[in-house]
Amino acid sequence: MRAIVLERNKLVGRRLVRYFLSAGVEALVVEDPAQVPAALADPAVGLVCADGFDGDAVRAACRARPGVRGLLWTAEPLRRSLRHLAECAAINHVLGRKDFESAPRPWELMMVLRRALEPGAGPPPLAAYLDWGYTGFEQQVGSTAHRDQVVQQVQDFVLALQVPKRLGEMMSELAHELLMNAMYDAPVDASGAPKYAIDRKAELTLPPDEHAMLRLATDGTRVILQVRDRFGGLQRRHVVDGLARGLAGGEMDQSHGGAGLGMTVCHHNALAMFFDVARGRRTEVTAMIELDLNLREVRTLARSLHLFDAVAGPH
Amino acid sequence: MDAAPHQQPTLVAGAPPPPKLQIDKFADGGIVCLRLSGTIDEAFEGKKLAETLKAQTLVLDLGDIRKVSSFGIREWVDFINGVGKHSERIVLVECAPKIVDQLNMVANFAGTGRVYSFYAPYHCDYCDKDDRVLYQVDRDHEVIKSMKPPQRPCTQCGEMQYFNEDPITFFSYLAGQEKFELDPDVAAFLAAKLSYAVSDSARKLRIDKIIEGRTTFVRLGGDLEKSFPREQLAEGVEGVVVLDVAGIGKIEPAGAAEWRGFLQMVTPGAEALYLTGVPPTFLDKLTRPEDLGPKAQVLSFTLPYTCATCSTTAGQLIDVDEHFDVLKFATPPDLKCPDCKSALVCAAPEGLLTHLPSLPRPQVTADFKKLVADLRARKVQVKKIATTVAEAAAQQKGGGLWMAFAAAAATVVLAGGAFFIYQSFLADQGSKAPGRGKLVGASADARPDWIESDAALAAYCKDDAGGGMVCVGVSGLTTSSDDGVDEASDAALDAVASAIAARIEDPAWQSRVGSLYAQARQAKLAAADKDPRNAGARRDVRESRRAVARTLRATGGGAVPAAPSGRYWEEYDDGASKQYLGFASFTLAPAEVKRLVDGYRTPTDVMGAKAMTVFPLLAWRYPEVSRGAVLVAVDKGELRDLGMAPSYVVLSVGGRKVADATGFSQLAAEEMTRLKASGGTLALEVQAGDGEPKSFAAPVKADKPADTGSTGGRDPGGRDSGGRGGTGNVNVWDRYGGGSSGGRDDPTQ
């Protein structure tokens, strides 16, 4: 597969070519959106990448060549790139980067590229998110009371890493949010109707085959939180539209089945979110936060969003 | 799990988990305070809680909220919308950073409520300590607006700690909220009963007096401090005296001594002396037999009672006469919750209860009790603060200095308002001004018609039908007639500036310029009014007005008459010396008024910002600033890059003084032209908040590097050397040392 990389910064462009080559993707760097259509004439091109600033050029390329996928990176708030995900189903990834003179995180880009090359391989193991082994725990969560204990365990685990207290609170908030979705919203009956979503205040005890699974792991530089359910019902619109509504910062509008608050809370509390869905079998949400940042940096760093497999849409 | 050490959860069996959200409720009359601690999530019953709350003012303490889930947000919004229907006002205090996040994220998170105070996260790198600093919207308004929280000393190691958030994000909601002050009764409740941080002005003693037949009813609120004005208050207090001390907060030892002295002064002239609404602290410290003396009796007091059903702790009023038979055994009376009728449990300390038997049984009739209850319920008419000159003029009929304050302090409720009432009461009795003496001479046979008030330091304007106005100033007592008239002239010009301010209805001007001086002006005027004999307070007013007059003449563009249209003085003899009272008036034609209003309200574009000519009343806060330009908006551009923010006053550009907004625009354009030709530093002198003016500087690159004839000129990082001459490819950093001047990156930052 070949990729067109639209990047105006030469230094970043060279670095990106290196990453792409390492992943087994040949990249052609162009600096002007006007060069994209010509480069697209190459039938081997399967990926067009650019900063969210040039998202319109990526969308135009995806429209012009069905089957081509788009990939964006951004140093700005995710809200500005979401527009492209909402309006173009071929764009499923936004990679946050520190500033316009930096490349996205190499491991994150490598994961996206390698998965693009092997679309049917399924989600990577947790180790793929971390360096050289890790420490963590895994919990099957089947009741409201156990949920609260696990959420507290997440907070205690993160705080034991000598990070600011608010970081621990952010991760536990994230765990609570993801578990609520996996326990109350995900389970459906044989006809596909939600079983427990009607009353999120109710105490819940799930049968063993409906338990949610939570994993938390760290390699010392970042923390990965992963929650999985076995229903695989999460839709692309839940993520993209929900985030778009929530990040718009408007009045709470629940007329479209939710105000996007849950997604927004997750977005605020994680630097990168990975959504993996095997329809009817599995929804896996993975969140990442870096530990060697102060709170101000955590707040201001651009967020990443990745949609894989069924949640990514028709591709 | 993939190759990971596995930890099993530790499950605690048997013990019920602690509640995730703790809600404590405190109530006092129409004020209800809810203190929420913990996590707001799906377990929070927002709608249900809202249905149980009814209050005039609902105070929500959110300082201990640690987490908020998305479903918790929905519940919270239901709650805040629900209580908004049953509460006249909602005030959010001590909001945790987590709550500030929600305010920024969810548009209607505060409902109809307003945030009074919030915590900002700080971090010290030296001792790795996270801290929280309380910001108040009244006290810290400018910092919030500027979104530039300053560094501050770490409470642990003393090194500087920094604001540990993205300020633009963190302050985005709060910066958009208008400045406001707590109502005095709410402030007193929060400060005195719950030890919340409120502004000092809100805790100052307030006194209201009502005379009903032979009964003098005095209501006191605020802290009892050394400054308690016992002589002033005791003057004229006679007959049956009822002192309502329910609003008394903290009692300092010196304040307690003043109170005892006050009672001793009042006792001889009083037929009877009653204390009502006595709060627990007052009961403990100032109602022993030796404190009360021979005449004072406690009619009623409050004790804290807790309702387990409502989870509410509230002060309950106890009538001493009604419950005397129980109180004499040091026992609190059995009371029922007024809301749910459950039995209440007294939460007063044992030491306080043991004091109850020493209270004498008051000898009062049922009618008198009813009168006292009526008087307690009656609100003293607070003088309306005029928002226009016309309103101020309308209020002048009563005479008194407070009228002069009104036009200026449009948005500020004056603490100590009761003193104004007190003063006008004296005036009604015929004493024009205490200590003035006998009128022995004047500059004319009769006092001119344009004088409508002779209250010392008064200043007021009267609109004429065509849009012009006549403004009159009155001096304080001076040692010469010339000094008196000069001081009166300055007072009249201060009134002119106030009248102009009232006619500028632009909200941007009000928030960026008007808010800069209102508090300082109000404070100085209130200090002079509170104690007319205070020479320091009078001097402050006199000097501020002189500075206002100077600025008005400097920036008014000739629209201000050079001399007063009317001058007059009176000579008084108090037996020891002669003193003079000066009067002056200025008459402004409609065209002159319009010119002044237009001149001060019209913004000028300067390098991405909007600036207005410095307004004369700013001199109340910045007496040294007589010329300059106030930034009212700062958008993308050189000024924002330089660190400029709205409400900053620009005094000079490149060392050249700024006269007004237009001058600022011209100077800035000239300076930029020069710098772009040759490179250099754009330097501004700015009055940014109180204190000395600050310097702001940033390098400006030449459009084309100056041809110095040397080689190089760019450092290895590609930065231009800014016209200093070629550096010959040497390391610029090494060459110019490690200072923090602009022009290159500073690796220490």
Interface pTM, i.e. ipTM: 0.86
**Subunit contact A149:B9, Cβ cutoff 8 A:** yes
Residue among B11, B42, B108 minimizing CB distance to A200: B42
Q: Are residues B214 and B289 in the same domain?
A: yes
Q: Taking the CA of residue A25 as centre, how many other CA atoms within 13 Å lie in the half-sphere pointing to its CB?
A: 28
A249/B12 touch (CB, cutoff 8 Å), yes or no: no
Is the same domain home to B578 and B644? no
B380 closest CA partner among B350, B343, B418, B338? B418
Over B167-186, what HEC string results?
HHHHCHHHHCCCCCCCCHHH
Residue whose token pair is 């778009």 = A244
- What's the rounded Cα separation, in Å, for the pair B592 and B323? 69
Sequence length of chain A is 315
Do residues B256 and B295 both lie within one domain?
yes
Give the pLDDT score at B17: 62
Structural domain includes residue B696: yes
A180 contacts B69? CB cut-off 8 A: yes
Which domain CATH number covers B212? 3.30.750.24
Q: Which residues of B touch A136 (CB under 8 A)?
A: 1, 4-5
B736 found inside a domain: no
Residues B98 and B158 in one domain: yes
B739 lies in a domain? no
Asked whether residue B199 is domain-assigned, the answer is: no
End-to-end CA distance of chain A: 15
A292 by DSSP, 3-state: which?
Answer: coil
Q: B228 and B262 in contact (C-beta within 8 Å)?
A: yes
B169:A217 CB<8 A = no
Fold of A2-117: Rossmann fold (3.40.50)
Q: Identify the helix (H) or strand (E) that includes residue B540.
A: helix B535-555
Domain that includes residue B440, residue range: 389-596
Q: Are B469 and B432 part of one and the same domain?
A: yes
A25, two tokens: 């993707």
What is the spatial distance between Cα A69 and Cα A52, in angstroms, rounded to a whole number? 14
Helix (H, G, I), strand (E, B) or coil at A107: helix
Task: Please tell me whether residues B413 and B305 are part of one structural domain.
Answer: no
Q: Is there a single domain that holds both residue B442 and residue B534?
A: yes
Give A-chain residues touching B3 at CB under 8 angstroms. Answer: 127, 133
Higher pLDDT, B181 or A252: B181
Is residue B174 in a domain? yes
Residue B32 contacts residue B53 (beta carbons within 8 Å): yes
3-class secondary structure, A138: strand
Count the residues in chain B: 749
Q: What is the pLDDT of residue A313?
A: 66
CA B428-B434-B436 angle, 5° bins: 120
Q: Which amino acid is at B515?
A: S
Give yes or no: residues B492 and B592 share one domain.
Answer: yes
Structure-model confidence comparison of residues A247 and B149, the more confident one: B149
Pairwise CA distance, residues B96 & B121, whole Å: 9
**A30-89 confidence digits (pLDDT tens):** 999 999 999 999 999 999 999 999 999 999 999 999 999 999 999 999 988 999 999 999
Q: Are B242 and B215 in contact (CB under 8 A)?
A: yes
Superfamily of domain A126-312: Histidine kinase-like ATPase, C-terminal domain (3.30.565.10)
Do B462 and B554 fall within a single domain?
Answer: yes
Query: For residues B158 and A252, what is the distance between their CA atoms, to the nearest angstrom?
Result: 44
Q: Are B600 and B502 in contact (CB under 8 A)?
A: no
What number of helices (H) and strands (E) belong to chain A? 10, 11
B454 shares a domain with B369? no
Radius of gyration in angstroms for the set of CA atoms belonging to chain A, rounded to a whole number:
19
Tokens 């010396």 label which residue? B577
Answer whether residue B224 is part of any domain.
Answer: yes
Spatial contact of B248 and B279, defined as CB atoms under 8 Å apart: yes
Does the pLDDT at position A108 exceed 70? yes
Task: Say yes or no for a CB contact (<8 Å) between A268 and B101.
Answer: yes
Residues from B contacting A (CB-CB < 8 Å) are 1-7, 9-12, 17, 20, 41-43, 66-71, 73-74, 77, 97-98, 101, 104-108, 121, 123, 130, 163-166, 169-170
Tokens 């069924």 — which residue? A310
* B345, B410: one domain: no
B480 Ramachandran zone, left/alpha/beta (phi>0; psi -120 to 50): beta
Residue A27, pLDDT score = 95
Q: How far is A197 from chain B (nearest CA, A)?
A: 12
CATH number at residue B607: 2.30.42.10
Confidence of residue A206 (pLDDT cuts 50, 70, 90): very high
Beta partners for residue B714, in sequence order: B720
Provide the 3-class DSSP secondary structure of residue B42: coil
Same domain, B69 and B172: yes
Quote the pLDDT of residue B3. 40
**Does the residue B7 lie in any domain?**
no
Q: Number of Cβ pairs closer than 8 Å across A and B?
A: 110
Residue type at position B180: F
The residue in chain B having the minimum alpha-carbon distance to the alpha carbon of residue A174 is B69
Distance CA B18, CA A143 (A): 17
Q: Which residues of B396-410 are buried (b: 16+ CB within 10 A; e: fewer)?
A: beebbbbbbbbbbbb
Check if the beta carbon of residue B428 is closer than 8 Å to that of residue B446: no
CA nearest neighbour of B111 among B94, B91, B138:
B91
- pLDDT beneath 70, residues of chain B: 1-18, 192-203, 379-435, 532-533, 704-749
CA-CA distances (angstroms) from residue B145 to B172, B514, B608?
9, 14, 18
Cα(B489)–Cα(B497) distance, integer angstroms:
12
- Chain B residue nearest residue A177, CA to CA: B69
Determine, for residues A149 and B11 on separate chains, whether the beta-carbon distance falls below 8 Å.
yes
A261: pLDDT strictly greater than 80: yes
Backbone angles phi, psi at A314, to 5 degrees: -65, -20
Per CB-CB distance under 8 Å, the chain A contacts of B66 are 169
Q: Considering only CB atoms, which chain B residues are within 8 Å of A217?
A: 1, 4
Contact yes or no for B69 and A135 at CB 8 A:
no
The residue behind tokens 């060549």 is A65
Please state the domain count of chain B.
Answer: 4
**What kind and span of H or E run contains B312?**
strand B312-319
Domains of chain A, residue spans: 2-117, 126-312
**In this predicted structure, what is the pLDDT of residue B391?**
35
> What residues in A contact B106, CB-CB < 8 Å?
249, 252, 261
Residue B383 placed within a domain = no
Q: What share of chain A is helix, strand, coil (3-state, %, to 5)?
A: 40, 25, 35
- Give the pLDDT of residue B408: 33
pLDDT score recorded for residue B129: 84
Q: What angle is formed at CA B534 by the lines to CA B532 and CA B540, rounded to 5 degrees?
A: 95
Of the partner residues A126, A254, A261, the one whose CB lies closest to the CB of residue B1: A126
Of B632, B625, B622, nearest in space to B602 by CA: B632
